Amino acid sequence: MTPASSAASKPRAGGEYRIGRYRVRARLGKGGMGVVYLGRDEALDRDVAIKTLRLEGSPDDESRGRFEIEAKAAARLQHPNIVTVFELSEDRGLPYIAMEFLGGEDLEHLLRSGEKLSTTERLDIVIQTLRGLDFAHNHRIVHRDIKPSNIRVLDDGGVKILDFGIAKVESTSVTRAGMMVGTPYYMSPEHIRGGVLDGRTDVFAVGVILHELFAGKRPFTADDPTRVLYRIVNEPHPRLPEGAAGPLTADVQRVIDKSLEKEADARYASAGQMADELTRLRDRYPTPELEPADLAALSQARRNLASQQPDPKLVETVEAIARAHPDATEAQRLRRLFKRKPSDPLAQAETAAFPELDATFGKSAGGEETVLGGRTISGSAETILQGGRAESAPPAPVGPSNAVMYGAVAALAAAASIAGLLYLNRGGGSGQPAKPTPTITEIFVPGTEATPEKRPATRPSGGGAIAPAPPTAAIPKMAMEIRSQPAGASVRIDRKLVGVTPLRAEVTSNAAHSVAFSLSGYQTREMLLELPLPPSIDATLSPEGPPATLVVESAYPLTVSVGGRVLASDKPGVTATLAAGAQEVLLEAPALFLKRRETVQLEAGGTTTLKAPLAGKIGVRATPDNCKIYLNGVFVDYPPILDRAIAAGTHVVTFEWPDGTKAEEKVQVQAGKPSYVMGRKP
């Protein structure tokens, strides 16, 4: 982290404060580890958000390391759905990040405010979030703290992912051993267990958000954090209310089910796969046919938004259209924007004082905290695990949001990155008080090793308090006889190994299950058991012939998946040994807008070569040019787009104007040659 050229955090003459080269104009938000300010970059004549670290106390190496990871991770990810970082620097020992200043409001506020979101808008928010995450995952960065407050919904419907403060970057580790960091409601089972994390842990979090968007509440809730974690690991998620997504409710539920699988291998192999599935659903959803007069009124209302005094007649018209057409996305969005009470962060900024900037090296008070759903739970891990209650702050009121809400979204590592920070530790000697800052060597989440009824309440080595598992409601179960021909096959129920055939297994009787059989020399067989469950199953396994070899050749890095299993990620090709027969191969290269599925017939003992398409270029223009450009459903930019690298083949270019009008063009891109597309508003 390099020091800023300007070393003046204290005010200049006339009461002006600066952080680095930026003039501080307003305080946007404040958290336990720092403050977010609205700053002015006078050299480039633009506003920026300045995120600082620990103004009250000396930042430790770990906090600095995580702070740097956030900036470097975000700076590597130049994508329309990820917040842009301009600078990571330090001023008088004060680390800070300068990033783009965003309007709009965070998804957390939208969910809690009761504002109406159309079905297509809800799907689009999730799709854009997944596109940003897929880009991050392809650059070997896992966010690990995806939640509504880290998703910014802009006024034009765009989405930005914020806060990579606890992101996992390849070959980087700054988390203390045994410390679990994240927000409990959105943690994946493997995150809770302390397992290896990859992009599928973010997919789980997005599945929670997708459920929350349509059900109006989170799928896993409880009065204390340990109970939340237990439910995520052990209990099935609830179903959506009937008709929650209109005619697509069953389809959306299927996507939620797959994204919330307990085992990562059973989820979508990538965020991009989940985004593709939801894109197909969004495009199928029936959108209302608005009258030309309504479309014209909405277009005029969009232009009128910038006015200090919106036209009351237009506001009334938008309100009427929104009431008449609940699934008219633009009408609902404009209605929301007109109802939002403007909040000017500069109202008192120019004369405001910032005393915390004068106390950069002051000693901060307070102990460890866990933030859960607006409540702050303080105390030792033993107290939390034993269900002890500490004084908790009341939920913060949800108020109107504009620029000020940006501070709440990006309110630093304490309020955003370390929301839900859980220190689950084993205490010191028996009867002795816990140490103020214990060394955490083990994370125990009740239910991960045995059910509460069967797990003995043992005391950890070295003494300390017993951490009993929380009580759980009885789950109906049944015994099932499982046999195979030939016998001796390993059996996995819902991806968990339960034994070898023949065997008798106990399963929950109120849910469907997958049962997989594997035996050396035989092809793996998987069966899906629907309700009502049979009392016994018999599986006949087919002999496995000699394996086949698949070779994928590519001139650029891509991700190769077969049957949902990733064989190579961001590599120029792969050679793999697979079972003979028909295999579905997925080739993905987001940077070149490549997502191609091909079914190849692999011959036993033979080698099959699959070549990825070469690259070409595409140029896109539009008239009028105030539209968004999508390539194969992925937002790219506003026109003109000049000589953008793209995989050869057929691509779909979509133009979307502010009034909701869309146009679509198909283009055949040839390898090594430029292709051009012109979009015209119908």
What pLDDT, on a 0 to 100 scale, did the predictor assign at position 454?
A: 36
Segment among 112-116, 357-361, 581-585 with least mean pLDDT: 357-361
pLDDT, position 159: 92
User: What does the pLDDT average to over 437-456?
Assistant: 33
Residue labelled with tokens 């989440």 = 445
Cis peptide before 486 (omega within 30 of 0): yes
Comparing 134-138, 271-275, 510-514, the range with the smallest average pLDDT is 510-514
β-strands 2-3, 85-91 pairing: parallel
CB 541 within 8 A of CB 486: yes
Domains of the chain (ranges plus CATH)? 2-102+346-383 (3.30.200.20), 289-324 (no CATH), 477-540 (2.60.40.1120), 548-610 (2.60.40.10), 615-680 (2.60.40.1120)
Q: Note the pLDDT of residue 92.
A: 76
pLDDT for position 481: 94
Q: What is the mean pLDDT of residues 70-83?
A: 72
**What mean pLDDT value characterizes the chain?**
74
d(CA 25, CA 47): 9
**Smallest Cα–Cα separation from 7: which of 75, 96, 77?**
96
Local confidence band at 479 (pLDDT 50, 70, 90 cut-offs): very high
CA distance 424 to 252: 35
Q: In this model, does residue 116 exceed pLDDT 90?
A: no
Three-state SS for 413? Answer: helix
Comparing 443 with 505, the larger pLDDT belongs to: 505
Most confident option among 35-39, 267-271, 310-314: 267-271
C-alpha distance from residue 48 to each of 78, 163, 612 (Å) = 17, 15, 41
Identify the three-state secondary structure at position 248.
Answer: helix
d(CA 259, CA 125): 16
Per the model's pLDDT, the better-predicted residue between 238 and 509 turns out to be 238
The 10s digit of each residue's pLDDT in 17-76 is 888 889 888 888 775 556 888 888 888 888 898 888 754 444 455 556 655 655 565 566
How do residues 608-634 score in pLDDT, each as one tens digit?
999 999 999 999 999 998 899 999 988
What is the Cα–Cα distance from 658 to 376, expressed in whole angstroms?
A: 41
- Please give the structure tokens belonging to residue 656: 């979307």
Provide the pLDDT for residue 360.
52
Closest listed residue to residue 263, CA positions, set 204, 303, 310: 204
What average pLDDT does range 643-667 have in this prediction?
92
> What is the set of active-site residues?
145
* 92, two tokens: 């008088």
Provide mean pLDDT across the span 517-524: 79
Give the DSSP letter of residue 82. Answer: B
Burial of residue 504 (number of CB atoms within 10 Å: 0-12, 13-18, 19+)? exposed
Residue 516's nearest CA partner among 530, 533, 528, 504 is 528
Kindly report the pTM of this predicted structure. Answer: 0.52
Residue 497 has pLDDT above 90, yes or no: no
* Cα 373–chain centre separation: 17
28 against 415, higher pLDDT: 28
Q: Amino acid identity, residue 399?
A: G
pLDDT beyond 60 at 112: yes
> Is the C-alpha dihedral spanning 329, 332, 335, 341 positive or negative?
negative
pLDDT level of residue 663 (50, 70, 90 thresholds) = very high
* pLDDT computed for residue 456 by the predictor: 39
DSSP string, 254-304: HHHHHHT-SSGGGS-SSHHHHHHHHHHHHHHSPPP---HHHHHHHHHHHHH
Question: What is the model's pLDDT at position 346?
Answer: 56
Is 455's pLDDT higher than 80? Answer: no
